[in-house]
Structure 1
Amino acid sequence: MSEFITLSLFASTLHLSVPVILPMLGGLLCERSGVVNIGLEGMMLSGAFGAVVFSYLTGNPWLGLGGAVLSGLISGGMLAIMSVLLRGDQVISSTAINLIGAGLTAALVPIIWGIDGTTPSVPKIPTLPLPLLPQLPVIGPLLGELSMIDVLAFALVFIVWWVLMRTDVGLRLRACGESAAAADAAGIAVTRVRIAAVILSGVLAALGGAYLSIVTLDLFQASMTQGRGFLALAAMVFGKWRVGPAFLVCLGFGLADAVALRAQIFTDELPHDLLFALPYLLALVALATFVGRASGPADVGKPFRRA
């Protein structure tokens, strides 16, 4: 057991939770503003693809990260137009984002590279170790395996919580999700707030996809997100639309992924496919049992029409 539970296991948990944490934060901001967003998976795929394309064309992975942000702005903007400006059904609109993200990226790979499925390797963002942290007692070896990208991702958890719960901007956003009519009567520009939240959700989800394609790996592969966008949604619901609990659920999914990967080394008795399905099984159990009475913001999913 001591060989199984090591610092590497906990470091892997942190690494594997990042591409779930980022879209979870985006989805939470979006739904707290009153807009349903089940399109996180498609946004992640768009971000992963955009990061690889820009990294390939420029040879600079940091510009690839900019490509992911641009992809997130586009996918978030599309959802904002369909669900906020045109007042379309929010579930159908965000489902369309998933279909576009999966279909368009898979179709563009052979057009750009002339091959199907997986792109060639591209420059990736180096995961440089943090200075000084390895010298800290106890947690030093663990933190020494993290990169600046990981630390920035975890810092975003605190930043989003602080903005959402401790600032006037967050208060306005939450007011739009709880009662758009009351927020409008108080002078809040509900449409602008919702558009900004939806676009920001696209950017955060796209960064989660970019983490997979140019930080963890150095390529894009069709459907490479493997349902992490839906895991982010499950974490958000299981956390009852609160940043802290949802973050802990993301860590739980990361731990399940890390255990599944490590278990392959220590046992051949369990099917590998069953081990890889562990995070998704946990999500199904959580959604089917513990969150039956969970309810989101009062006005989530309701188009805003100014009286």
Structure 2
Amino acid sequence: MAKMNLLQAVNNALDIAMAANERVVCFGEDVGVFGGVFRATSHLQEKYGRARCFNTPLVEQGIIGFANGLASQGSVAVAEIQFADYIFPAFDQIVNEAAKFRYRSGNLFNVGGLTIRTPYGGGIAGGHYHSQSPEAYFAHTPGLKVVVPRNPHQAKGLLLASIRDANPVIFFEPKRIYRASVGEVPEEDYELPLGKAEVVREGSDITLLAWGAQMEYLELAAELADKEGISCELIDLRTILPWDVETVAASVKKTGRLLISHEAPITGGFAGEIATTIQEQCFLHLESPIARVAGLDVPYPLALEKEYIPDQWKIFEAIKSSVNF
């Protein structure tokens, strides 16, 4: 085991993937010598050469178009979009090309070797162009997988699984905790299953569900709830698409309550999809309405960032409301 922060875990996963398979290439804006704006790809170019780790022009649709071409020809392409906010120029290349490549060719061709890494979310005073959480846009697209880790151990195992998955994957990295989240990570090669949620903590009164950096606020809210005698079960969804309905439903049938939290705006957020599915499957087990604690329906604010973020205090108030319904 080694102590790593989330950035180091991502770098370690890329290093292992590139060492194990010479077809793995990583590229993006400033990814080469500079190591990316957050240094996630530091030292990979000097170790594996400029043909396997290199800079691209500042053209997101070009990055993903190029990645689609590489993946369709048998390369394992790991493309970085510098901030998730700037993934939108590549939206067509992702949802109309990468996601449909296998389907439209009748399984003759695919871009399953494509992984798109991108840092998402707020908490770094980045303002409205460097703080968004766009996971729900892509959850509407069959043919993609969408993955979000919460800590270094998860980041390494989930990224290695994503790179080796037979489908195109968007891997959202929570930049607020890039360096703040530190933990013990196995030094060896390992994978964590995609499409499988993790029950982080068992409880009996309410199920709390989130993904990525939002898990930290859930844990803090659960500690506040403990002091009120409320037992919280915590689940990290980990994979948005496909999401683990079975694990979440089993938990809600036990606790009778569900609270979902995400940083993205509440309207159209992925919590709505989860709430609808769990309501259908667990209706007779529910003791209170399913709660959503999410971002506001406004552009991500700079000066009022702390007011925008769904933190432990907002979650704790929602927990109490649900339990006392």
**Same structural fold, with TM-score higher than 0.5 when normalized by the shorter chain:** no
Which of the five TM-score ranges fits, normalised by the shorter chain? under 0.3
Greater percentage in helix:
1
Q: Tell me the TM-score normalized by structure 1.
A: 0.27
* Greater relative contact order (CA < 8 Å, ≥ 6 in sequence): 1
Structure number with higher strand proportion: 2
Give TM-score, length-normalised by structure 2.
0.26
